[in-house]
């Protein structure tokens, strides 16, 4: 066994990895760059260093990997958790606080002999045998980078690219309040290992489909300042996505457009879903805690970036969220 210089909780997960012959790794439902990047970065590294182990990369949902993230090396290795029939020796949940956030992955989590978590979301309870939770970390991918470093598992171009994508997307290209010197230290280690910030940016932020940009124009055209100008608000109907020819998994960046309004302290973006519910995204630009609002509406997330799903119309979701936002913006 190699010498271990990480924290005791990291050491415990490394021990579980060494003991396991079959390992399944899964990130949260409706995966973003960090959920996919964390799972891939960890999975590719473990496959490389433990070729004798069977390492499976699972998707919480039955949907394919969103197009923007298919450039990540190994993204074709993902399989839907619903199609995974084994009982893995170890299930590693990444970028998700509790198994209720990993949709179909939950059943595999429950069948697994041992379980571990790497995550940076707040959690009110823990369900795994070993947990590395750092709510100060900008991205789960940064936690994985530190874990691999502590385990002295060398980074390859492939692993580093996936982890850099996770960090770059969860920090909004190093623009959000979660970006710290430690974030740059992790990113620097990944770039040293061969990852290219230009390659990640080109694929994630400079490769929009024209259809998406036209939807973005509609959302921009609807932005208004509410609550005495302290909150920017906009929305998209399911029919807008349909008329523009945009897929749901392309819409993650729309909230950032609303967030970019000068002088606001927070923003709310609502997107009507085909199933009659509304997905709400909240962002804070300063010290406000928008996760409180999301939690009161049945959702959750980080202090500065949170979300919820509302049953009803866009107008009803706005009416429910506005008074809760008023409480925090004063």
Residues at the site binding Mn ion, with contacts judged by CB under 5 A: 34, 95, 140, 170
Q: Which is nearer to Mn ion, 120 or 318 (CB)?
A: 120
261 close to 224: Cβ distance less than 8 angstroms: no
Q: How far is the CB of 153 from Mn ion (least distance, A)?
A: 21
- Residue 281: helix, strand or coil by DSSP? strand
30 close to 64: Cβ distance less than 8 angstroms: no
Q: Which is nearer to Mn ion, 140 or 165 (CB)?
A: 140
Q: How far is the CB of 267 from Mn ion (least distance, A)?
A: 19
Q: How far is the CB of 209 from Mn ion (least distance, A)?
A: 24
Q: How far is the CB of 305 from Mn ion (least distance, A)?
A: 9
Q: Which is nearer to Mn ion, 13 or 241 (CB)?
A: 13
Q: Which is nearer to Mn ion, 89 or 170 (CB)?
A: 170
Q: How far is the CB of 78 from Mn ion (least distance, A)?
A: 17
Q: Which is nearer to Mn ion, 226 or 303 (CB)?
A: 303
- List, in order, residues 6 or more apart from 115 with CB less than 8 Å away: 90, 91, 92, 93, 109, 127, 128, 129, 130
Angle between helices 157-170 and 140-150 (to 10 degrees): 140
Q: In sequence order, which ranges of the chain are alpha helices (DSSP H)?
A: 8-19, 33-49, 105-111, 140-150, 157-170, 181-192, 197-205, 210-221, 238-244, 254-259, 291-296, 314-329
Q: How far is the CB of 302 from Mn ion (least distance, A)?
A: 8
Rounded to 5 degrees, what are φ and ψ at 208?
A: -65, 150
Please state, in angstroms and rounded to a whole number, the distance separating the CA atoms of residues 59 and 126: 21
124 close to 136: Cβ distance less than 8 angstroms: no
Q: How far is the CB of 67 from Mn ion (least distance, A)?
A: 19
Please state, in angstroms and rounded to a whole number, the distance separating the CA atoms of residues 14 and 313: 46
Q: Which is nearer to Mn ion, 78 or 235 (CB)?
A: 78
Residue closest to 90 by CA, chosen among 65, 124, 53, 121: 53
Instruction: Identify the burial level of 8 via C-beta atoms within 10 angstroms of its C-beta, where 0-12 means exposed, 13-18 middle and 19 or more buried.
Output: exposed
Residue with smallest beta-carbon separation from Mn ion: 34
Q: How far is the CB of 140 from Mn ion (least distance, A)?
A: 5
Q: Which is nearer to Mn ion, 140 or 148 (CB)?
A: 140
Strand 130-133 vs strand 114-119: parallel, antiparallel, or unpaired? parallel
Q: Which is nearer to Mn ion, 139 or 258 (CB)?
A: 139
């Amino acid at each position: 066994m190699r010498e271990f210089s990480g924290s005791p909780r990291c050491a415990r997960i490394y021990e579980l990895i060494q003991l396991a012959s079959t390992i399944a790794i899964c990130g949260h439902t409706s995966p973003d760059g960090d959920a996919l990047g964390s799972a891939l970065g960890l999975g590719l590294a473990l496959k490389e260093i433990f070729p004798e182990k069977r390492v499976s990369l699972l998707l919480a949902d039955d949907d394919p990997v969103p197009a923007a993230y298919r450039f990540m090396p190994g993204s074709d290795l993902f399989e839907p958790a619903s199609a995974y029939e084994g009982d893995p020796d170890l299930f590693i949940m990444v970028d998700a606080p509790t198994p209720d956030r990993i949709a179909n992955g939950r059943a595999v989590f429950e069948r697994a002999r041992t379980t571990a978590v790497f995550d940076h979301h707040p959690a009110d309870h823990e369900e795994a045998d070993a947990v590395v939770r750092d709510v100060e970390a900008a991205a789960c991918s940064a936690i994985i980078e530190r874990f691999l470093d502590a385990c002295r598992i060398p980074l390859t171009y492939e692993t580093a690219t996936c982890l850099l994508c996770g960090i770059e997307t969860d920090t909004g290209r190093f623009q959000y309040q979660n970006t710290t010197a430690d974030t740059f230290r992790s990113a620097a280690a990944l770039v040293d290992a061969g990852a290219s910030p230009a390659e990640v940016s080109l694929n994630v932020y400079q490769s929009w489909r024209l259809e998406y940009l036209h939807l973005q124009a509609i959302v921009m055209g609807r932005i208004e300042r509410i609550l005495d100008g302290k909150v920017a608000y906009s929305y998209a109907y399911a029919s807008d996505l349909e008329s523009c020819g945009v897929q749901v998994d392309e819409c993650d960046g729309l909230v950032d457009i609303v967030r970019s309004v000068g002088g606001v302290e927070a923003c709310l973006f609502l997107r009507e879903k085909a199933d009659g519910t509304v997905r709400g995204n909240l962002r804070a630009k300063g010290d406000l805690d928008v996760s409180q609002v999301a939690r009161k509406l049945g959702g959750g997330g980080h202090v500065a970036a949170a979300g919820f799903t509302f049953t009803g119309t866009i107008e009803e979701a706005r009416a429910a969220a506005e008074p809760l936002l008023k409480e925090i913006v004063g």
